[in-house]
Homo-oligomer: A and B are copies of this chain.
Amino acid sequence: MTPLPPDLFDELCPSSLLPFRFGDKWAALVLRCLEDGPRRYSELRVPLRRVTPKVLTQSLRGLERDGFVARTVRPGPPRSVEYALTPLGRSLLGPLYAACAWAAEHWDELLDARDPA
């Protein structure tokens, strides 16, 4: 049983640990929507219909700022805006899938833990 390092915080700040924790509830879902290629704003709203435009935009801006997603405006009219994964964003899909696989595998246990019905 190895002793804990004296200051794990300096070694691993919380934000460094979790790029998954974009501070954003929808970010991961948006990434998965983009995995097969670029999508337009309105295309994203369909599968994510529970999210309001404001919140979707918030998510997209965050992902753009962090370099996971690229935004391209194609002038119109009618104009369209495409969102696509950057290489960085695509590289995150691996760990993200690992997380999803884990969740799927342990879904029952998670439910039981929260609500031992």
Chain A residues engaging chain B, CB cutoff 8 angstroms: 1-2, 4-9, 12, 14, 16-21, 25-26, 28-29, 32-33, 36-37, 39, 43, 46-50, 65-68, 88, 91-92, 94-95, 98-103, 106-107, 109-110, 112-114
The oligomer's copy count stands at 2
A99–B14 CB distance below 8 A:
no
B17 contacts A103, C-beta separation under 8 Å: yes
Asked if A8 and B109 make an inter-chain contact with CB atoms under 8 angstroms apart, the answer reads: no
A46-B4, A49-B7 are known contacts. Are A113 and B16 too (CB-CB below 8 A)?
no
Contact between A113 and B65, CB atoms less than 8 A apart: yes
Is the beta-carbon distance between A99 and B106 smaller than 8 angstroms? no
Given A28-B14, A28-B18, A47-B4, A92 contacting B88 (CB threshold 8 A): no
Pick the contact of A107 from B16, B26, B103 — CB < 8 Å?
A: B16
A50 contacts which chain B residues (CB < 8 A)?
9
